[in-house]
Amino acid sequence: MPRSRARSVSGDVPSVSARRPRSVRRSFDDKLLPVLLVTPALVVIAGLVGYPVLRTGWLSLTDADGLRALTDGEMAFIGLGNYLRILEDPVLRRVSLVTVGFGLACVAATMVVGVAVALLLNRRFRGRGVLAVLVLLPWAIPNVAASFVWKWIFHDQYGILNWALGLDGFAWFNHWLTAFAVIGVVVVWQSFPFVAVALLAGLQTIPGEVIDAARVDGAGGWQQLWRIRLPMLKPLLLVLVVISTIWDFKVFDQVYVLTEGDPTRRNEVLAVSIWREAIAQLHIGLGSALAMVLFLILILFTIGYVWLAREQA
Amino acid sequence: MNRLAATVLTYLAALVVGLFAVFPLVWMVLTSLKPTADIITPEPVWWPSEFQWHRYGRVLRAGFTTYLRNSLLVAVGTTGFGLLVAVFAGYALARFRLPLRRYLVLVVLATQMFPTAVLLIPLFIVMRNLGLLGSLWGLVIAYLAFITPLMIWILRGFFLSIPDDLEDAAMVDGCTRFGAMRRIILPLAGPGVAAVSIFAWIAAWNEFLFALTFIRSDSLRTLPVGLTQFAGRDATDHGAIMAASVLFTLPVVIFFLFVHKKLTTGLVAGAVKG
């Protein structure tokens, strides 16, 4: 559809410019062309993002459950029933809290590691260019592959980490806290490169004179970091915190691979619960409500960050 | 003295960071090549006593040629359609005063904020009713949902960085707007277009949740799901799981090394400019 439209426009170019007066072409260029250019994108966004979101919102207010709901649309409006159930159900309530706690911990760790690596890469040393590329690699690794490698590194009997730490046969995945620690390591490993590289680019835009002036005034390394560098990078830091939050609250792949089929559900995050309820067990209404909860949490946090940043400024 | 300490610390930190970033990858490759006796041992064997390439052949015969093909089809399809939509929209949003331009950032941020699971349920229902659950097309369509908005955003950033004097000059010389875009701007934005294509390609190549949900038959599985299924069947064959992971990872790493600079600057620039 978009292709044929594009072809016909470009195919007409010579004849149009030859025959029609300039003003017709002008008004086509200014009025119609932009609309033609954005229409395919609007169709994609409205159809594949707008509609599904509204539909999920609607489904979350129904008792849609099982195959009949899928095939015949057999469901009834139950208001906030699913949301109340999430509040009352000990497992789902716990999953919501755990998602927030785990997500925040991952964001904090990612930012700390990212800032540290960016500061390191901002120094002069041999092999800096090579390191800057190597550091990016974890970002490029598919989530699923990364999860399998780390699962192997954390293997209780033959894992290299237990050997290095002298933990003979320690089963990381038997307790929910240590299991989340492993998942957190994988998530941070995959998300710090982006933060580091983006911050490095930011650090390099700070003029050298500013830092020199601070040094002359007797500011030490820490003071330079806290009083000058980080404040100057605040808009960038805010964007990175928002992006990391969005990534880390939605984690699915790593949790699925590392703790697959955990019957106690103590290692679930919301993304996994949504999948389990809505797809695996076809509790479509409840799963949709969980999806909306995760969405609302992300919106709240994003607004919160922006508000905090404004407040301080 | 102080200076020396700082230098030593810098190199030490660089070593630690480098190891943290790269060791898991190296370990993945080494494990895939070791004889089983070198793998199943509490005392790690750092270098394989003998290189075992046969695992790669075995993994490929266990269905991975099919998974590779499916992943490739889905990734190429998503990239192609995504580009078609995003190049036009990105250009229009960079050059014309469209009423919805201000909301673009919001829409893009929102599409990133929707947990993919929010899209998953309705798309699952629609695909099921359209009979697309047993087809790679279902995946391509679903991936377009969350990849296109980001492509538009990044491409718009690239188009904005090209001065519009160039088009104006071309149009004074008798080019139409569309001709100017195609002949002048697109070639200049070539690196950006390439970077965005590879971004889309990688995102589609890696995607797991939709692939897990939409595809039920083994002959249509893509790599990430194929890998988890394989690992589920042969959970103790660590060497083979690592070999399969290497096959899955290698194409991405190679692509990525070509474009990483453009990708990060594009993402961040777009984010900050708003």
Select, from the ranges A199-208, B77-86, B125-134, the one with the highest average predicted confidence (pLDDT). B77-86
CB B178 within 8 A of CB A33: yes
Neighboring chain A residues of B21 at a CB cutoff of 8 Å? 134-135, 137-138, 189, 193
Report whether pLDDT(A10) > 50: no
Alpha-carbon torsion (A253, A255, A257, A262), positive or negative: negative
A218-237 pLDDT tens trace: 777 778 788 788 888 888 88
pLDDT given for residue B264 in this prediction: 61
CB A277 within 8 A of CB A286: yes
pLDDT given for residue B197 in this prediction: 87
- ipTM at complex level: 0.87
Nearest chain A Cα distance for residue B264, angstroms:
7
Contacts with A68 (C-beta within 8 Å, 6 or more apart), sequence order = A74
CB contact under 8 Å between A252 and B117, yes or no, is yes
CA distance A149 to A160: 11
CB contact under 8 Å between A134 and B208, yes or no, is no
Say whether pTM exceeds 0.80: yes
What's the mean per-residue pLDDT of chain A?
A: 84
Residue B151, classed as helix, strand or coil, is: helix
Higher pLDDT, B26 or A216: B26
Residue contacts between A and B (CB atoms, under 8 Å): 291
Q: Does B186 touch chain A (CB under 8 A)?
A: no
A252-262 pLDDT tens trace: 999 999 987 67
pLDDT given for residue A14 in this prediction: 47
Q: Does B118 touch chain A (CB under 8 A)?
A: yes
Beta bridge partners of residue A62, listed in sequence order: A77
Which of B118, B117, B115 has its CA nearest to residue A298? Answer: B115
Neighboring chain A residues of B241 at a CB cutoff of 8 Å? 148, 152
Q: Does B144 touch chain A (CB under 8 A)?
A: yes
Least trusted range by pLDDT, from A164-168, A228-232, B23-27, B133-137: A228-232
Nearest chain B Cα distance for residue A78, angstroms:
18
CA end-to-end distance (rounded Å), chain A: 48
B40-84 pLDDT tens trace: 887 888 898 888 888 898 888 888 899 999 999 999 999 999 999
CA distance B206 to A272: 18
Report whether pLDDT(A12) > 70: no
CB contact under 8 Å between B116 and A250, yes or no, is yes
Find the mean pLDDT for residues A13-29: 57
Find the mean pLDDT for residues A103-112: 96
Backbone angles phi, psi at B117, to 5 degrees: -65, -25
**DSSP code string of A76-92:** -B-TTHHHHHHHH-HHH
Neighboring chain B residues of A3 at a CB cutoff of 8 Å? 84
Residue A59, classed as helix, strand or coil, is: helix
CB B121 within 8 A of CB A287: yes
